[in-house]
Structure 1
C-alpha cells in the first residue's frame, strides 16, 4: 500500500501533465488510462485533465479485443499504464506512457501546472458502455457536465466526505463520483487493491480501521457487505449510497435493522447524464414497501415522464423517463445517428436545453418520487454495468458453428439478473465443438458472458418473422443427482443452505461447480460474506475460486472453522441463517494500509 498527501499528488500530476502536453494532448484529445486500482489512477486522471485532455478509463481485465476497439474508436493520443498492466496492450494503436519505464522523463518535467486551455464545453472524460450495434460506444462528458454533477453532490448530501472507500472500477462511471467528490471536499480517498475490494471481511475492517465516512457500491454488493457491519464497527460511517442496479426493499430493511444510524441513499442515473440524475434517502418504512423509489431530480437536473403519445404522464401513469439539466452529456463519440436518437431538444424548457431519452419505464408517485418499472427495450443491468444483449448476440454469431443467437436476461424471485443464450447451430455441429467460453472471453468482459446456453433446433418466431422472445423455453438449473457419498455434517448443511440462497436453487449436489451453476464473482463475494457472518471466521474470497466444486468448498470451510465451534453450534445456526448476529472478526491486520492506497 501507499500513502500520498495532496501536495505530492498535485506535483506528480503536474509533471505527468507536462509530459502529455509534449505528446500533443490538449482540449478534446482523449488519453486512455489502463491501470489497476492504485494511487496511480488518480495521478493519471488529474494529469490528463491538467493537460486539458479527456481521460478514457479502461479496465485492464477487459479482453484485448475490447480494449483495442476502445483505443481505436476514441483515437486515444496515448495510454497511461505501467509495465505490469501493459501486458493487455500489446499491439495497441496508441503510444504507451509507462509510469515506471518513463519515470525519469516524467520526473524531469516542471512541477507547476500547464496553462489552462480547456473550456467548459470541452471533454472531461469518455466512458464506453455496451452498444446495441454490437460494439461499445463512447459517452462524451464535458467539464461543465462533470462539475455540475459533483457540485450537485455537495449540495444534496449534508455530510462532507471525510474518508471515501472507492470500490468502483474506473470503467464504471460511479468512480467519477467518489474520486472528484472526495477531492473537492479535501477528504481522504481509500483505494483498496483488486483483491481487497472483493473481500467483504477486509472491507469491513477498512471501514473501521480507516474511519470511512462514505461508501458507494452496488445494492447486491452492499447486501453482502452490510452483513459484516455493526454499529460498533462502523461508528465513522455516515453515508452509504447504492447505485447501478435496482435497490430491493429487502436491502432497505436489512440496512435499517443493522445500521439504523447510517443514512442510506438510492441513486439513479445513466452515464449519459453524468453519473446521477435522481436520488432517494431510504426511510424506515421503505423496507416494507413494494419497491424503492429512485427519488427526485438532483440539483440542476430535470425529469419528465412522457407517455407513448408524447405528452407528460400524470402521477401513477407509466411512461418513459427523459432527463434534462446540466448533466446531459454531449452525445456518443463518432455516432451522430445514435446521438440524434437519444438526445433531443427539451420541449418543456425555456433555455434551449436538451433531454436524454433513458429507455427506462417509470411512473411518478404521489409524493413526487419516481418509481422504476423496467426497460422499454432489451437493455439490462448486470452487476451495475449496462449491457445490450445484441452486443453479446453479435459476438456469438461470430462463432463459425452458430447460425442464430438470442440473449435474454432473467432474475426471478429477487435473484441477481443473469444472462442466458439460446443458440441454433449449423447442421452437423455439436455442443462439444463450440468452446464458447474461450470464444466469448476473448471478445467480451466477464460480466457479459452468458451464465447458461440452451441449444434449440429453431428459434420461435412471430407471424411477421421476428423472434418471439416470450416463447423461448425457460432455462433450467437442473443438474444430475450424484450418490450421496459427499461431505456431511453441520458445515456441509450450512454451506448447502448458503449456496441455495445465493444461487436461488432448490438443490445443490456434492459435485456441483459453483460457477457452472451460474455463480460469478459477485455471488462468490455474497457466499463468502454469508460464511463469515454466520461463522464469525475469516474466509478468503479466493477459497471459492480455488474450490469451486461443492464438496471441495466444504472441506475448505472446515479447514478454516474454529475447532471449538462444534456440530451442535453449527446446527443451531441453520435455523438462524437469515438473522444471525455473529460479527466478522476484525483483529486481522492486512498489509498497511490494509491492502490499499490512500490519497
Structure 2
C-alpha cells in the first residue's frame, strides 16, 4: 500500500476500525470506509466502484467482498501475522494533494459518487474542527455517526488531533432513547455531534454531562436549541463531503440559527447565477474554497469539472471553488444564513441523498417503466414518496430497494400511475404528483382489524408513531413507512404506556402486531392490558402536543424541500 492505493475498510465501529484508518494513512494510501450494515449488493457495488487494491475486514464480514481475487486482510484472525510487521516508519512520500480517503455519497445519475478527499484537507479539518468545537485533552467525544458517513471522520480525527478520547460503542448502543442516553452516561461523554432528528427523541436530562453539543446534518429548529443549549455550549456544523466534512460552525441561540462563519483556512462566497458576489441579505448560491476542497469525484472528470470550478477570487494559482447547490445569504454580522436547495438533493434523517439515484434503482426493476421520487415533510419527519408507471406491487418494490440501497433511501410510500405528469419542457412535473399516504399504499394482504384490548392499544400506538389512520394486525411496521428511528420511539412508548417489556432487537424481528402480540403472550410475564380510557386520554394529549410541534416546525422551517447538510 502506498500513495493513491485504495484500501476497502469493511469493519464495524470498533478500535479495529480506527486502527484501520490510521494504518492506511500511515502507509500513504487512501481508505474507503463501507458500512457493514448496508445491503450486500450495495457493499459490493461500493467496493467495485472504488477499485480497491485490498480490503481490511474481519472473518465475520469477509463474505461481503464481491471479488474473490481481491486480497483480504482479516484484522481478527490475522492478528498474530499483523503483530509481526515492522514498527518502523514506512518510507512513503505523501503530499497534501495525495488521496486520503474516498467516501461515497448519493448520485443523481442512479449511481453513488466517490468523493476523493485529500490528506491536506483531512489534516486541516481535524485541527480546525477540534479548535472550533473547543475539544480539550480531557474531553471524551462520543463517536455517533455511521462509519460510512463523513461525520464519523470528523469525530475520530478531530478528537485525536486534540489529544482527547474517542468513545466507541456498537450501533445498538447508540439508538436514540434509553440506549443512547445510557451510553453517554456510561462513557462520561462530554462532547457529542447529533442530528436534530436524534435530538428530538432524547428525553430531558438524557445528555447530562455533555458540555459541548454540536447539531449537524440538517437545520435545527429553535425549539430544540432552547431545549438543549441551556447549561452547555451548542454549535451548528455545516459542510458537504466535498469540502472535507465541515466548512463552517455557528454558536447557536434560540433567537437565530445560522450555519455560521468559515473554519480556519476555509473561504465562503455567496454568488449569483453569473458567479458574482451578492450583497448582504441577497440570496445566492454558496461556494466554498480553501484547504478543505476534495480532489473531485472518482472516475468522473466531467462531474468534477462541473462542481469544482476555478476560483477567481483568491489569486492563488490552481485554486478552486466547490458549488454546494445550497441557497444562502449573508447576515449583517457576517454569518451565513441557510435558505434552501437549488437541485434535487434532499436530506433524510440528516443524510444527504439524490432522488435520482433512487429513481435509477427503481428503473432497474423489470416491472417498472418510469419512476419519480420526491421528499415530503410530515409531522413524523421527512419521508420519501415513490411513484412508478408499471405493473408491480409496492411490497415488491420495497424489497427490491432494500436489497440495493441504505435504509434511509428506501421510500416510505408508493403510488402507481398510468403516466407521470410532465411539464411543457417534457420533464417530470413533481408539483403535480398526487399526495400519498401509508393508508393509500396498496397492501399485499387483507386488512385484519384488532379485536383484543392489547391489539387495539398497540394499533393506536402504531398509528400515532407512524402518522397513519389505519393499522391492521398483519401490517408490517416498515411497510407503513417506519424506520429504525421511529422503531426506537415505538419501543420507548410501548414500555411507558403499555408496560410491555420487549427487547428492541425483537421489534425488528416481530414487525407486525400479530407477531408482536404472539411474542408478548409467549413471555413468562405477559403484558397487562392498559385501561382503555387512560390510553385514549394519553393519545389525545400526545396528538395535541404533536399538533403544537407541527405548527412550530411550519413557522421556523424554510419553504425549501430540504435542509442544510454536513
Normalising by the smaller structure, the TM-score range is: 0.7 to 0.9
In the alignment, structure 1 residue 336 sits paired with structure 2 residue 301: yes
Change (3 A) 1:207 1:565: farther
Q: Tell me, yes or no, if the aligned pair for 1:31 and 1:55 is still in contact at 8 Å.
A: yes
Distance apart, 1:457 and its partner CA: 0.8
How does the TM-score come out when normalised to structure 1? Answer: 0.81
Distance apart, 1:263 and its partner CA: 2.2
Structure 1 equivalent of residue 511 of structure 2 = 548
Q: Distance in 1 between matches of 2:176 and 2:501?
A: 10
Counterpart selection for 2:433 from 451, 462, 472: 472
Q: Distance in 1 between matches of 2:184 and 2:392?
A: 51
Q: Distance in 2 between matches of 1:462 and 1:565?
A: 53
Change (3 A) 1:92 1:129: farther
Q: Distance in 2 between matches of 1:68 and 1:252?
A: 40
Q: Distance in 2 between matches of 1:252 and 1:453?
A: 34
Q: Distance in 2 between matches of 1:184 and 1:350?
A: 30
Unaligned 5+ runs, structure 2: 547-566
User: Residue deviations 1:154-190, cap 9 Å, x none?
Assistant: 2212342611221111110000111112212222222
Structure 2 equivalent of residue 584 of structure 1 = none
Q: Tell me, yes or no, if the aligned pair for 1:500 and 1:508 is still in contact at 8 Å.
A: yes
In the alignment, structure 1 residue 208 sits paired with structure 2 residue 185: yes
Structure 1 equivalent of residue 324 of structure 2 = 358
In the alignment, structure 1 residue 269 sits paired with structure 2 residue 239: yes
Q: Tell me, yes or no, if the aligned pair for 2:125 and 2:158 is still in contact at 8 Å.
A: no
In the alignment, structure 1 residue 167 sits paired with structure 2 residue 144: yes
Counterpart mapping for 1:319-398 below 5 A:
319-352=284-317, 353-398=319-364
Change (3 A) 1:399 1:576: closer
Q: Tell me, yes or no, if the aligned pair for 2:222 and 2:255 is still in contact at 8 Å.
A: no
Change (3 A) 1:92 1:186: farther
In the alignment, structure 1 residue 423 sits paired with structure 2 residue 388: yes
How does the TM-score come out when normalised to structure 2? Answer: 0.86
Structure 1 equivalent of residue 398 of structure 2 = 437
Q: Distance in 1 between matches of 2:177 and 2:417?
A: 40
Counterpart selection for 1:240 from 193, 206, 213: 213
Moved more, 324-333 or 537-546: 537-546
Distance apart, 1:496 and its partner CA: 5.8
Distance apart, 1:244 and its partner CA: 1.6
Q: Tell me, yes or no, if the aligned pair for 2:215 and 2:235 is still in contact at 8 Å.
A: yes
Q: SS at the partner of 1:467?
A: coil
Q: Larger relative contact order (C-alpha < 8 A, sep ≥ 6)?
A: 1
Distance apart, 1:284 and its partner CA: 3.9
Distance apart, 1:195 and its partner CA: 2.2
Distance apart, 1:554 and its partner CA: 7.0
Change (3 A) 1:209 1:100: closer
Change (3 A) 1:235 1:476: closer
Distance apart, 1:529 and its partner CA: 4.2
Q: Tell me, yes or no, if the aligned pair for 1:30 and 1:56 is still in contact at 8 Å.
A: yes
Q: Distance in 2 between matches of 1:325 and 1:204?
A: 37
Structure 1 equivalent of residue 551 of structure 2 = none
Structure 2 equivalent of residue 5 of structure 1 = none
Q: Tell me, yes or no, if the aligned pair for 1:68 and 1:92 is still in contact at 8 Å.
A: no
Q: Distance in 2 between matches of 1:128 and 1:209?
A: 32
Q: Distance in 2 between matches of 1:546 and 1:330?
A: 43
Moved more, 570-579 or 495-504: 570-579
Q: Tell me, yes or no, if the aligned pair for 1:201 and 1:532 is still in contact at 8 Å.
A: no
Q: Distance in 1 between matches of 2:499 and 2:292?
A: 44
Q: Aligned residues, how many?
A: 537
User: Residue deviations 1:9-40, cap 9 Å, x none?
Assistant: xxxxxxxxxxxxxxxx1012111100111111
Q: Tell me, yes or no, if the aligned pair for 2:344 and 2:355 is still in contact at 8 Å.
A: yes
Moved more, 46-55 or 147-156: 147-156
Structure 2 equivalent of residue 185 of structure 1 = 162
Q: Distance in 2 between matches of 1:339 and 1:313?
A: 25
Q: Distance in 1 between matches of 2:142 and 2:534?
A: 35
Distance apart, 1:373 and its partner CA: 2.3
In the alignment, structure 1 residue 408 sits paired with structure 2 residue 370: no
Structure 2 equivalent of residue 68 of structure 1 = 44
Moved more, 552-561 or 305-314: 552-561
Counterpart mapping for 1:442-457 below 5 A:
442-457=403-418
In the alignment, structure 1 residue 128 sits paired with structure 2 residue 90: no
Change (3 A) 1:573 1:469: closer
Q: SS at the partner of 2:328?
A: strand
Q: Tell me, yes or no, if the aligned pair for 1:199 and 1:540 is still in contact at 8 Å.
A: no
Q: Distance in 2 between matches of 1:121 and 1:444?
A: 32
Change (3 A) 1:533 1:306: farther
Q: SS at the partner of 1:417?
A: strand
Moved more, 97-106 or 497-506: 497-506
Change (3 A) 1:405 1:483: closer
In the alignment, structure 1 residue 137 sits paired with structure 2 residue 99: no
Counterpart mapping for 1:41-190 below 5 A:
41-92=17-68, 94-160=70-136, 162-190=139-167
Distance apart, 1:57 and its partner CA: 0.2
Counterpart mapping for 1:539-578 below 5 A:
540-550=503-513, 574=539, 577=542
Q: Distance in 1 between matches of 2:28 and 2:286?
A: 34
User: Residue deviations 1:208-259, cap 9 Å, x none?
Assistant: 12211111122212221x21x51xx644211121212222233223324xxx
Q: SS at the partner of 1:33?
A: strand
The alignment yields a C-alpha RMSD, in angstroms, of 3.1
Moved more, 512-521 or 534-543: 534-543
Counterpart selection for 1:313 from 278, 284, 296: 278
